[in-house]
């Protein structure tokens, strides 16, 4: 569940100014049904004073889209056109007591609808900056100018932030590279203008983009490159006891136990080497072996195998199971 | 007013009888099954019984074919990764476009790191698997086929037995994510060809954080989690004793209620669908009505958005879920509905109602009554509603 502020909930459950505004002087449509949200803003303007006297909205979208639309109408009613045009998407979010980051695009939609409605009132076609620059995100129809404006007005420095604010890159994510390019350029300009600290700016060198290559590497290559978690059991001839170092002895004990384990595992048990202290070999028996009447027999069996393999007298002792 | 809970595919209420069975294993019988004293032995016996209970629900031939896991997600991961390791020389995986992220995200990752080549098989508008594409994807390079038994969003059932047979022809292993099927459909693994099957406790009135992977005897297996020798070395870590005991009891109860699931629960679901479609125009049921889980209904309401619907339903005390982008944090609508080519006009407004044996006739009445004003209210607010004839040209719901 999203963490919506009380004000967002209130504007969703009791939206103000929803519905059609008959005889509107300006209408702005943004979004599309395929995007999952769309907004139509309708305004009435008092000609002599250039004041917005009424505003209504129709919205297809989630709770915060409806709340943002309604908030927008509340914010702009009573304002002059010039005042209204200075409202940013952040102002809409602030009015609502904040929006979850993933929902910031709802406030951007409000901002755009207002621009579109005013342009429509003035008899202009809104310079829809979705068509101004190159289309970056095809899934959501977001272009370069839109990303640039959102980066600038919100001081964004991360690709994920751009996705949260504009949706760009939130679909197939093939445009990740394009978004990075815009972010890098705009952040650099902002640094040059002195509005962004250089260390805050997006740094493509430090950013690792998820690779989307579809290359099949042969299994052997992968296995060879991967660290080997389990030591190979190599059946080497036992060195003569006299020539054997302590290390060699321990290795040999280890290897022998590894060879015994499969037969224990078949019966639902297992045996693990804990320590070697001189000729005392500490093992832990687990699974079905524990508490089994035959566990002493198993210990003896392990001991016999070890003595045979290592060629020196050994005493196998069970370690207390600990968990 | 009591809340109406119709989100049982997300999770179920742990049955009070399950909780009761689990409780002593937190307090008196807290021992570790591997310990060599009375505390451990008591627990060992109880675990054995719980294993038998789950075995019975699955109709498995041997109880040691069950490997307990932390849930469905872990079981899915364990099955697929094990197959890549044991099926030496094979590095292709076949799956469907409508799997749970527990499978799809893992496979996307394996593909990204170059560990496997993944074939994703599409579905038709009712969510039925493209059998032709499936057969074509099979090859001697296929390590494993992982296809879910029943879809969590639409309830559509895949012909897993048939798919397993086809997979075996090329020497591939067959795994099925049966998280939504176990407890809702009769299952008999002893007479099946399925090699591995994932299930999850919290979907069948058991506790959360416990699940299992069934691994047919004779199928080679490599553990996902290494360490101690619990679960015969196939899943290390001290057993989640209360969880396993709870899952056992939940399995026993699921078997007891199996017939009811097929009859009473299915009838509730059908009555809800009929009631909603009769009262609300421009709505339709997604999925395959002829092969569907008895408890699941996914209804798409056109021209409105799912999250907004859920928020209003929640205010009426009704809990369901939506495949809508807005509820999941992703920006695309449900990958399942998109794979089925449900039009955008409807995919954003799809609501999943999922029942359980705990639902009643009153629940259905409440929802049938509450939904029409909610839908109408949002449609009145939507800029597309009045212009729908222009929008909807050429759109034909699968059935209504
Ligand atoms: C089909 C399917 N697979 C896997 C899972 C994940 O199961 P779990 O929550 O036990 O990890 C779910 C549940 O969300 C599911 O519906």
Q: Is A35 a catalytic residue?
A: yes
Chain A within 8 Å of B112 (Cβ-Cβ)? yes
Checking if the pLDDT of B197 tops 60, the result is: yes
Residue A246's pLDDT is 81
**CA-based nearest distance B305→chain A, Å:** 5
Residues A116 and A146 in one domain: no
Q: Which of A87, A121, A155 is the last residue of a domain?
A: A121
Structure tokens at A278: 């001189």
Q: Where are the beta strands (DSSP E) in chain B?
A: 4-5, 66-69, 92-96, 117-121, 142-146, 173-177, 196-200, 211-215, 283-286, 296-301, 318-319, 321-322, 350-354
> What is the domain-level CATH number for residue A163?
1.10.10.1100
Residues 191-250 in B contacting A (C-alpha not used; CB under 8 Å)? 226, 228-230, 232-233, 238
Chain B within 8 Å of A60 (Cβ-Cβ)? yes
Residue A106's pLDDT is 87
Stretch A131-146: mean pLDDT, rounded? 70
Window from A107-116, A138-147, A221-230, B206-215 with minimum mean pLDDT: A221-230
Which of these, B361, B368, B349, lies nearest to B299 by C-alpha position? B349
Checking if the pLDDT of B172 tops 70, the result is: yes
Whole-angstrom distance, CA of residue B284 vs CA of residue B340: 14
Do A89 and A107 meet the contact criterion of CB atoms below 8 Å apart?
yes
Residues of A in contact with B32 (CB under 8 A): 323
Residue A233's pLDDT is 45
Residue B282's pLDDT is 93
* A42 to chain B: closest CA residue: B383
B117–A216: do the CB atoms touch at under 8 Å?
A: yes
Structure tokens at A154: 């919100």
Q: Is B229 a catalytic residue?
A: no
Residue A231's pLDDT is 43
Would you say residue A213 lies in a domain? no
Residues A91 and A188 in one domain: no
Checking if the pLDDT of A153 tops 80, the result is: yes
Residues B64 and B132 in one domain: yes
pLDDT higher for B400 or B268?
B268
A211–B112: do the CB atoms touch at under 8 Å?
A: yes
Checking if the pLDDT of B311 tops 80, the result is: yes
Checking if the pLDDT of B331 tops 80, the result is: no
- Residue B388's pLDDT band, with cuts at 50, 70 and 90, is confident
Domain that holds residue B75: 16-256
Give distance in angstroms: CA of B207 to centre of ligand 1: 13
- Residue A142's pLDDT band, with cuts at 50, 70 and 90, is confident
Would you say residue B72 lies in a domain? yes
Q: What is the mean pLDDT of chain A?
A: 80
pLDDT higher for A239 or B299?
B299
Residue A263's pLDDT is 75
Structure tokens at A58: 């129709």
Pocket test for ligand 1, best of B179, B196, B224, B354 (most atoms within 8 A of CB): B179
* H or E, element range at B332: none
Checking if the pLDDT of A140 tops 60, the result is: yes
- Residue B1's pLDDT band, with cuts at 50, 70 and 90, is confident
Q: Which residue has the tokens 């908030």?
A: A71
Q: Which of A34, A65, A170 sits opposite B330 (nearest CB)?
A: A170
Would you say residue A208 lies in a domain? no
Pocket test for ligand 1, best of B98, B102, B211 (most atoms within 8 A of CB): B102
Residue A262's pLDDT is 79
Q: Which of B213, B239, B256 is the last residue of a domain?
A: B256
Half-sphere exposure of B53 (CA within 13 A, CB side): 23
Stretch A70-85: mean pLDDT, rounded? 96
CA-based torsion, A94, A98, A102, A107: positive or negative: negative
Q: How far is CA A276 from CA A282, A300, A315, in A?
A: 6, 17, 10
> What is the domain-level CATH number for residue B283?
3.90.1150.10
Would you say residue B313 lies in a domain? yes
Give the mutation candidate from A13, A19, A60, A73 for the B interface (greatest B CB count, under 10 A): A60
> What is the domain-level CATH number for residue B195?
3.40.640.10
Residues B244 and B272 in one domain: no
Would you say residue B226 lies in a domain? yes
Residues of B in contact with A139 (CB under 8 A): 331-332
Percent of chain A with pLDDT over 70: 76
Whether B148 is in the pocket of ligand 1, judged by its Cβ within 6 Å, is: yes
Residues A110 and A12 in one domain: yes
Residue B183's pLDDT is 97
Residues B101 and B188 in one domain: yes
Q: Which residues pair with A56 in a beta bridge?
A: A42
Q: Which of A152, A170, A200 is the last residue of a domain?
A: A200
Pocket test for ligand 1, best of B11, B14, B70, B72 (most atoms within 8 A of CB): B72
Chain A within 8 Å of B326 (Cβ-Cβ)? yes
Range of A39-48, A197-206, A279-288 with top mean pLDDT: A39-48
- Residue B38's pLDDT band, with cuts at 50, 70 and 90, is confident
Residues A140 and A117 in one domain: no
Residues B194 and B300 in one domain: no
Q: What is the mean pLDDT of chain B?
A: 93
Residues 25-44 in B contacting A (C-alpha not used; CB under 8 Å)? 32, 34-36, 40-41
Stretch A233-255: mean pLDDT, rounded? 68
pLDDT for A32-68, tens place per residue? Answer: 777 778 899 999 999 999 999 999 999 999 999 999 9
> Among the options B19, B258, B326, B370, which is catalytic?
B326
Residues B144 and B278 in one domain: no
Q: How many domains does chain B have?
A: 2
Give distance in angstroms: CA of B180 to centre of ligand 1: 8
- Residue A283's pLDDT band, with cuts at 50, 70 and 90, is confident
Q: Which of B235, B256, B277 is the last residue of a domain?
A: B256
B91–A216: do the CB atoms touch at under 8 Å?
A: yes
Checking if the pLDDT of B394 tops 70, the result is: no
Q: What 3-state DSSP class applies to B396?
A: coil
Would you say residue A33 lies in a domain? yes
Residues A226 and A287 in one domain: yes
Residues A55 and A113 in one domain: yes
Q: Which of B256, B283, B304 is the last residue of a domain?
A: B256
Residues B248 and B305 in one domain: no
pLDDT for A93-125, tens place per residue? Answer: 999 999 887 788 888 889 999 999 999 999 887
Would you say residue A206 lies in a domain? no
Residue B319's pLDDT is 96
Residue B26's pLDDT is 95
Residues B278 and B319 in one domain: yes
Give distance in angstroms: CA of B2 to centre of ligand 1: 27
pLDDT higher for A307 or A216?
A307
pLDDT higher for A33 or A254?
A254
Q: How far is CA B399 from CA B28, B288, B329, B342, in A?
A: 56, 10, 30, 12
Residues 98-127 in A contacting B (C-alpha not used; CB under 8 Å)? 102-103
Domain that holds residue A282: 219-318
pLDDT for B119-168, tens place per residue? Answer: 999 999 999 999 999 999 999 999 999 999 999 999 999 999 999 999 99
Residues B48 and B181 in one domain: yes
Residues A117 and A140 in one domain: no
Residue A32's pLDDT is 77
A-B Cβ pairs (cutoff 8 Å, strict): 132
Which of these, A292, A290, A312, A293, lies nearest to A303 by C-alpha position? A312
Stretch B164-190: mean pLDDT, rounded? 97
Residues B76 and B92 in one domain: yes
Whether B200 is in the pocket of ligand 1, judged by its Cβ within 6 Å, is: yes
* B232 to chain A: closest CA residue: A268
Q: Which of A200, A232, A247 is the last residue of a domain?
A: A200
Which of these, B305, B307, B350, lies nearest to B327 by C-alpha position? B307
Residue A1's pLDDT is 62
Residue B400's pLDDT is 26
Percent of chain A with pLDDT over 90: 37
Cβ-Cβ contacts under 8 Å for A162 (sequence gap 6 or more) = A147, A150, A151, A156, A168, A169, A179, A183
- Residue A236's pLDDT band, with cuts at 50, 70 and 90, is very low
Checking if the pLDDT of B19 tops 70, the result is: yes
A38–B384: do the CB atoms touch at under 8 Å?
A: yes
Residue A210's pLDDT is 52
Let me know if A142 is exposed, middle or buried by CB neighbors in 10 A (0-12, 13-18, 19+). Answer: buried
Residues B148 and B243 in one domain: yes
Residue A321's pLDDT is 46
Residues B89 and B191 in one domain: yes
Chain B within 8 Å of A61 (Cβ-Cβ)? yes
Q: How many domains does chain A have?
A: 3
Checking if the pLDDT of B207 tops 60, the result is: yes
Residues B307 and B248 in one domain: no
Q: For B282-308, give the DSSP string.
A: SEEEES-TTSB-TTEEEEEETTS-HHH
Checking if the pLDDT of A291 tops 60, the result is: no
Would you say residue A226 lies in a domain? yes
- Residue A245's pLDDT band, with cuts at 50, 70 and 90, is confident
Would you say residue B397 lies in a domain? no
């Amino acid at each position: 569940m999203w963490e919506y502020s009380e004000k967002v909930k209130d504007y969703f459950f009791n939206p103000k100014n929803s519905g059609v505004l008959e005889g509107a002087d300006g209408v702005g449509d943004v979004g599309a049904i395929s995007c999952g949200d769309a907004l139509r803003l309708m305004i009435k303007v008092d000609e002599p004073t250039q004041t917005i006297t009424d505003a209504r909205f129709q919205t297809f979208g989630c709770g915060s889209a409806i709340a943002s639309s309604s908030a927008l109408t509340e914010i702009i009613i009573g304002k002059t056109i010039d005042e209204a045009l200075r409202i940013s998407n952040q102002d809409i979010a602030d009015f609502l007591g904040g929006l979850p980051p993933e929902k910031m695009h709802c406030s951007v939609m409000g901002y755009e609808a207002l621009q579109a409605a005013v342009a429509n009132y003035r008899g202009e076609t809104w310079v829809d900056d979705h068509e101004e620059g190159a289309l970056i995100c095809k899934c959501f129809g977001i272009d370069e100018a839109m990303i640039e404006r959102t980066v600038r007005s919100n001081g964004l420095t991360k690709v994920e932030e751009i996705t949260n604010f504009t949706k760009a890159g939130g679909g197939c994510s093939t445009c990740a590279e394009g978004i990075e390019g815009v972010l890098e350029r705009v952040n650099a300009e902002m640094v040059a203008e002195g509005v962004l600290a250089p260390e805050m700016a997006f740094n493509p060198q430090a950013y690792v983009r998820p690779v989307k290559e579809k290359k099949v590497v042969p299994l052997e290559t992968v296995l060879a490159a991967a660290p080997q978690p389990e030591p190979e059991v190599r059946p080497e001839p036992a060195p003569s006891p006299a020539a054997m170092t302590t290390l060699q002895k321990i290795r040999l004990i280890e290897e022998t136990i590894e060879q015994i384990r499969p037969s224990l595992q078949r019966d639902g048990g297992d045996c693990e080497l804990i320590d070697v202290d001189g000729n005392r070999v500490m093992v832990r028996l687990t699974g079905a072996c524990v508490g089994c009447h035959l566990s002493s027999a198993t210990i003896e069996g392990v001991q016999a195998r070890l003595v045979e393999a290592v060629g020196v007298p050994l005493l196998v002792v069970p370690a207390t199971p600990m968990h | 007013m009591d809340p109406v809970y119709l989100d049982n595919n997300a999770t179920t209420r742990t049955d009070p009888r399950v909780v009761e069975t689990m409780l002593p294993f937190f307090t008196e019988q807290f021992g570790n099954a591997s310990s060599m004293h009375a505390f451990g032995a008591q627990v060992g016996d109880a675990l054995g019984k719980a294993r038998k209970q789950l075995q019975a629900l699955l109709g498995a031939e041997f109880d040691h074919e069950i490997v307990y896991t932390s849930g469905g997600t872990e079981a899915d991961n364990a099955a697929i990764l094990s197959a890549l390791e044991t099926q030496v020389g094979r590095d292709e995986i076949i799956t469907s476009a409508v799997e749970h992220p527990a499978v799809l995200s893992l496979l996307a990752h394996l593909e990204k790191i170059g560990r496997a080549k993944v074939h994703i098989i599409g579905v038709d508008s009712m969510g039925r698997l493209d059998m032709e594409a499936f057969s074509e994807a099979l090859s001697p390079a296929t390590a494993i086929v992982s296809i879910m038994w029943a879809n969590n969003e639409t309830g559509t059932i895949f012909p897993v037995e048939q798919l397993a047979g086809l997979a075996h022809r090329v020497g591939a292993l067959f795994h099925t994510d049966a998280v939504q099927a176990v407890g809702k459909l009769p299952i008999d693994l002893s007479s099946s060809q399925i090699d591995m099957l994932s299930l999850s406790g919290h979907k069948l009135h058991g506790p959360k954080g416990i699940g299992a992977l069934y691994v047919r005897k004779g199928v080679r297996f490599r553990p996902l989690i290494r360490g101690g020798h619990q679960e015969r070395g196939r899943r290390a870590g001290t057993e989640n004793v209360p969880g396993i005991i709870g899952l056992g009891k939940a399995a026993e109860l699921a078997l007891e209620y199996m017939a009811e699931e097929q009859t009473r629960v299915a009838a509730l679901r059908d009555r809800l669908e009929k009631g909603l479609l009769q009262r609300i125009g421009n709505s339709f049921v997604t999925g395959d009505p002829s092969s569907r889980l008895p408890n699941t209904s996914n209804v798409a309401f056109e021209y409105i958005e799912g999250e907004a619907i859920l928020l209003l339903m929640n205010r009426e005390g009704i809990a369901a879920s939506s495949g809508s982008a807005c509820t999941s944090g992703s920006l695309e609508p449900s990958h399942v509905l998109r794979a089925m080519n449900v039009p955008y006009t409807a995919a954003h407004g799809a609501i999943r109602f999922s029942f359980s044996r705990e639902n009643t006739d009153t629940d259905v009445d409440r929802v049938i009554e509450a939904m029409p004003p909610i839908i109408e209210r949002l449609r009145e607010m939507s800029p597309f509603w009045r212009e729908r004839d222009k929008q909807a040209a050429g759109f034909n719901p699968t059935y209504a």
